[in-house]
């Protein structure tokens, strides 16, 4: 039997796959050539799903900690025992300290489970939910909603004649809802390609123009390109006059960004800035493929706004082949699923209301949770429930995160494997993998479609889907009227507005919304003015910059020249194409493809510090030191190194918590201010460092 589904939870997913099933087991997965999204492509992560499904180290029953935190002593317990314990801890914590003393935490959102977590928290009036939103997707999404009222998607099916790939690497790591093969198809059909990335990625190797900015200076580069377009009249005057507000203010604002200054800030030659601006503005239609890398510093929201202005004034917003609006299908809206109306005063109770855009999206920047646990201010946090995340590897300032997790009175973790974070839990819950339950993919994402990801095999051992865990926990907390008999009932309710059940949806596979071009000509933009707001009155009223304004990073050759003398290199990072953040380091086929954490170093820099190819190298910032293996690369700037993200060592039982701090780049990052003022983003890249030859471990 062959079952059609969509890849999930090995990265953001979306590729169509065919699962071959024999005697209740998946024997093979391959790309689905009929998939409208991926046309048969599949990567090493997609092929490795069977290994993860059948891995001997999977957590397969609930467990309770017996020794000290992290000691590795566990006792098997029942699901009733585990859920009753968690429910009792929640009730007692609320009784003694109030709802604010509890925090839920989600790793990278992967499916419906984040919405069920938010639903449970809202119904309990628990205000503080930690997600990676402030450093992943939400700066772009909130900036888009403020500026034009929708999240603009590259329209590869509309045959763009030019594509800017900015801080994205779709050939190796898919975005939410965008597949690398779609970009490759546009390039193969002759689209001009501009790549903006400190590293010469596989995409950059195919570029007509590759710009190599100093890490973290993207906003300055975008402002430089806007300056060229304004000075040379390379913008669509009719669109600007009829459909934007604040263009004259932008023109005046850009006077403080002459190309000489922009070139100095970004390290990009003036000639290249001009060439990129002209190529993008004069080649129609054109789109921007922007990536998560833009969101890892204190300019994240304003950088996204600057790129939105680039899309707009060139006439490429909502145009075929440009960046377009893709409304979703008629199903239950996320706000209804999370029961936001049951918690009307959440914005007043959340711990970090100063980050207005994070509060609007209902989450707390992760560093604020960590600091609140440690300081007890503005109030104590006593317990956490974490699903699908590994904060010891993914949160900035890993040492401080470690101390915070240890300080908690109670920690429950739902996981597939015994990650470093899971090893600190008081209660461990075994989570099901994507093939073991019915799911709706891409729900709540602004890409205009949802995917059917049906259950194919029975869960291993006693594993439960996260959505089921939360559904059953809600019932135990006295909220049975707001939850479901089973998760199939939940899925049917979500799909009911579309006039179908989940069984109907499985037969369709993908459900799209009603898409059209230039919808603003009929009803205007979904903003207070009805136009694209270059100058944001809302941001001004909230005390933020109404126009994109570049702030130099807290550590840089320009803001901290004395520190730069001591730490003369800048590190950025890259996600490994064979892993999804910190997951799957224990899958054999993937580990063979990427066996060690690698740091890219220019040969001149390596020679200066006596480093050879394959040497273990110490990378040091003022916060700590880690080790990664040297890989020489002559196409990065000699002043820059590129670290691998998310490394721990499941096979190393001799190391503390499976080697959580040996190669973890977040040992090197800071979680203190300054942050992006609107959403709380922090500098995870563009950090000053030094390197020297080291020993392995």
Give percent of the chain with pLDDT exceeding 90.
95
Q: For 616-636, write each residue's pLDDT tens digit.
A: 999 999 999 999 999 999 999
Q: Which two tokens stand for residue 387?
A: 């699903």
Cis peptide before 17 (omega within 30 of 0): no
Query: Which pLDDT band, with edges at 50, 70 and 90, does 422 fall under?
Result: very high
Average pLDDT over residues 86-93: 98
Q: How far is CA 632 from the centre of its chain?
A: 28
Query: Which pLDDT band, with edges at 50, 70 and 90, does 110 fall under?
Result: confident
Q: Angle at Cα 254 formed by Cα 252 and Cα 259, nearest 5°?
A: 140
Cross-strand bridge partners of residue 136: none
Q: Which two tokens stand for residue 82?
A: 């585990």
Q: Is residue 179 pLDDT above 90, yes or no?
A: no
User: H or E stretch including 365?
Assistant: strand 364-365
- How many Å is the Cα radius of gyration of the chain? 24
Cross-strand bridge partners of residue 287: 163
CA dist list (Å): 224 to 200, 217, 255, 546, 555: 22, 11, 10, 18, 22
Cross-strand bridge partners of residue 31: 17
pLDDT at 15 (0 to 100): 93
Q: Angle at Cα 37 formed by Cα 449 and Cα 11, nearest 5°?
A: 85
Q: Angle at Cα 459 formed by Cα 458 and Cα 463, nearest 5°?
A: 155
Q: Which two tokens stand for residue 99?
A: 């709802």
Q: In the chain, where are the structural domains located?
A: 2-47, 63-137+332-423+463-512, 148-327+518-541, 561-693
Q: Does the domain spanning 63-137+332-423+463-512 belong to CATH 3.40.50.740?
A: yes
HSE at residue 527, side-chain half, CA atoms within 13 A, is 27
- CATH of the domain spanning 148-327+518-541: 3.40.228.10
Distance (Å, whole) CA 221 – CA 207: 18
Average pLDDT over residues 480-487: 98
**Cβ pair 493, 142 in contact under 8 A:** no
> Does the pTM exceed 0.95?
yes
Q: For 288-307, write each residue's pLDDT tens digit.
A: 999 999 999 999 999 999 99
Distance (Å, whole) CA 563 – CA 30: 51
Q: What is the mean pLDDT of the chain?
A: 96
The yes-or-no answer to whether 2-47 and 148-327+518-541 have a common fold is no
Distance (Å, whole) CA 84 – CA 96: 18
Indicate if the alpha-carbon torsion angle 650, 652, 655, 659 is positive or negative: negative
**Cβ pair 671, 552 in contact under 8 A:** no
Query: Which pLDDT band, with edges at 50, 70 and 90, does 175 fall under?
Result: confident
Q: Tell me, what DSSP letter sits at residue 412?
A: E
Provide φ and ψ at 68, rounded to 5°.
-70, 160
pLDDT at 24 (0 to 100): 93
Q: Classify each residue of 98-111 as buried b or exposed e, where b means 16 or more C-beta atoms within 10 Å of its C-beta.
A: ebbbbbbbbbbbbb
Q: Is residue 555 pLDDT above 80, yes or no?
A: yes
Q: Is residue 176 pLDDT above 80, yes or no?
A: no
pLDDT at 10 (0 to 100): 87
Cross-strand bridge partners of residue 617: 628, 693
Query: Which pLDDT band, with edges at 50, 70 and 90, does 109 fall under?
Result: confident
Distance (Å, whole) CA 178 – CA 447: 8
Average pLDDT over residues 506-517: 96
Q: Which among 163, 130, 36, 160 has a CA at the least distance from the CA of 447?
A: 36
Cis peptide before 161 (omega within 30 of 0): no
Q: Tell me, what DSSP letter sits at residue 432?
A: P
Bridge-based pairing state of the strands 286-290 and 244-245? unpaired
DSSP letter string, 471-528: HHHHHHTT-GGGS-SSHHHHHHHHHGGGT--HHHHHHH-EEE----S-THHHH--SST
- Indicate the length of the chain as a whole number: 697
Q: Which among 292, 296, 290 has a CA at the least distance from the CA of 308?
A: 290
pLDDT at 11 (0 to 100): 85
CA dist list (Å): 223 to 255, 259, 499, 541: 10, 9, 47, 23
Q: For 328-367, write each residue's pLDDT tens digit.
A: 999 999 999 999 999 999 999 999 999 999 999 999 999 9
Burial class (CB in 10 A: 0-12, 13-18, 19+), 378: exposed
Quick one: CATH architecture of 2-47? Single Sheet (2.20)
**Cβ pair 383, 355 in contact under 8 A:** no
**Cβ pair 99, 471 in contact under 8 A:** no
Residue ranges of the alpha helices (H) in 552-656? 561-566, 588-593, 603-608
pLDDT at 695 (0 to 100): 83
DSSP letter string, 74-135: EEE--HHHHHHHHHHHHHHHHHHH-GGGEEEEESS--STHHHHHHHHHHHTT--EEEEGGGG
Q: Which two tokens stand for residue 132?
A: 């990676």
Q: For 43-70, write each residue's pLDDT tens digit.
A: 999 999 999 999 999 999 999 999 999 9
Q: Which two tokens stand for residue 386?
A: 């974490």
**Cβ pair 78, 88 in contact under 8 A:** no
Q: Which two tokens stand for residue 385?
A: 């429930």
Domain at 561-693, CATH class = mainly beta
């Amino acid at each position: 039997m062959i079952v059609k589904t969509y890849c999930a939870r090995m990265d953001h997913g979306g590729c169509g796959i065919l699962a071959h099933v024999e005697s209740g087991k998946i024997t093979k997965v391959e790309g689905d050539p009929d998939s409208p999204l991926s046309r048969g492509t599949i990567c090493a992560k997609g092929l490795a799903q069977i290994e993860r499904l059948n891995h001997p180290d999977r957590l397969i029953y609930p467990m309770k900690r017996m020794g000290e935190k992290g000691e590795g002593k566990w006792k098997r317990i029942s699901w009733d025992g585990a859920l009753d314990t968690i429910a009792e801890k929640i009730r007692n914590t609320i009784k003694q300290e109030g709802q604010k003393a509890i925090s839920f935490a989600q790793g990278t959102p992967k499916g419906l489970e984040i919405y069920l977590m938010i639903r449970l928290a809202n119904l309990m009036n628990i205000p503080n939910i930690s997600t990676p939103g402030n450093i992943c997707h939400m700066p772009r999404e909130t900036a888009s909603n403020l500026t034009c009222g929708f999240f603009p998607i590259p329209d590869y099916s509309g045959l763009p004649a030019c594509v800017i790939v900015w801080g994205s690497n779709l050939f190796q790591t898919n975005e939410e809802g965008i597949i690398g093969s779609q970009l490759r198809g546009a390039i193969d059909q002759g689209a001009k390609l501009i790549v903006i990335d400190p590293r010469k990625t596989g995409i950059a190797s195919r570029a007509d123009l590759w710009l190599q900015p100093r890490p973290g200076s993207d906003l300055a580069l975008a402002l430089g390109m806007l300056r060229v377009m304004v000075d040379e009249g390379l913008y669509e005057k009719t669109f600007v006059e009829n459909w934007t507000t604040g263009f004259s203010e932008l023109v005046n604002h850009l006077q403080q960004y002459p190309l000489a200054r922009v070139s100095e800030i970004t390290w990009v030659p003036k000639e290249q800035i001009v060439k990129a601006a002209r190529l993008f503005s004069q080649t129609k239609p054109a789109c921007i493929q922007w990536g998560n890398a833009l969101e890892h510093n204190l300019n994240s929201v304003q950088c996204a706004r600057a790129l939105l202005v680039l899309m707009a004034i060139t006439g490429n917003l909502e145009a075929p082949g440009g960046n377009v609006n893709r409304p979703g299908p008629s199903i239950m809206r996320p706000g209804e699923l999370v029961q936001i109306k049951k918690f009307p005063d959440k914005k007043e109770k959340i711990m970090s209301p100063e980050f207005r855009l994070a509060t609007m999206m209902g989450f707390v920047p992760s560093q604020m949770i960590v600091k609140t646990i440690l300081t007890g201010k503005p109030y104590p946090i006593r317990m956490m429930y974490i699903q699908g995340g590994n904060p010891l590897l993914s949160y900035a300032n890993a040492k401080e995160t470690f101390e915070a997790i240890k300080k908690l009175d109670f920690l429950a973790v739902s996981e597939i494997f015994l990650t470093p974070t899971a090893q600190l839990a008081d209660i461990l819950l075994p989570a099901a993998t994507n093939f073991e339950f019915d799911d709706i993919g891409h729900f709540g994402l602004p890409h205009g479609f949802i995917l059917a990801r049906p259950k194919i095999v029975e869960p291993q051992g006693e594993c439960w889907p996260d959505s089921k865990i939360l559904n059953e926990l809600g019932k135990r907390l006295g909220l049975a009227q707001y939850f479901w008999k089973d998760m199939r009932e939940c899925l049917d309710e979500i799909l009911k507005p579309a006039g179908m059940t989940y069984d109907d949806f499985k037969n369709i596979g993908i459900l799209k919304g009603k898409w059209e071009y230039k919808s603003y000509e009929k009803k205007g933009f979904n903003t207070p003015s009805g136009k694209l707001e270059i100058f944001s009155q809302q941001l001004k009223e909230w005390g933020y910059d109404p126009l994109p304004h570049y702030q130099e990073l807290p550590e840089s050759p320009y803001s901290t020249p004395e520190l730069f003398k001591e730490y003369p290199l800048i590190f950025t990072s890259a996600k490994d194409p064979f892993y999804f953040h910190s997951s799957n380091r224990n899958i054999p086929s993937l580990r063979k493809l990427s066996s060690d954490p690698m740091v890219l170093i220019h040969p001149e820099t390596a020679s200066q510090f006596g480093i050879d190819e394959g040497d273990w190298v110490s990378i040091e910032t003022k916060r700590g030191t880690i080790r990664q293996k040297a890989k020489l690369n002559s196409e990065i700037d000699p002043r820059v190194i590129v670290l691998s993200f998310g490394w721990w060592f499941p096979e190393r039982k001799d190391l503390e918590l499976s080697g959580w701090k040996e190669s973890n780049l977040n040992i090197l990052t800071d979680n203190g201010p300054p942050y992006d003022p609107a959403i709380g983003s922090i500098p995870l890249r563009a950090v000053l460092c030094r390197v020297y030859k080291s020993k392995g471990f």
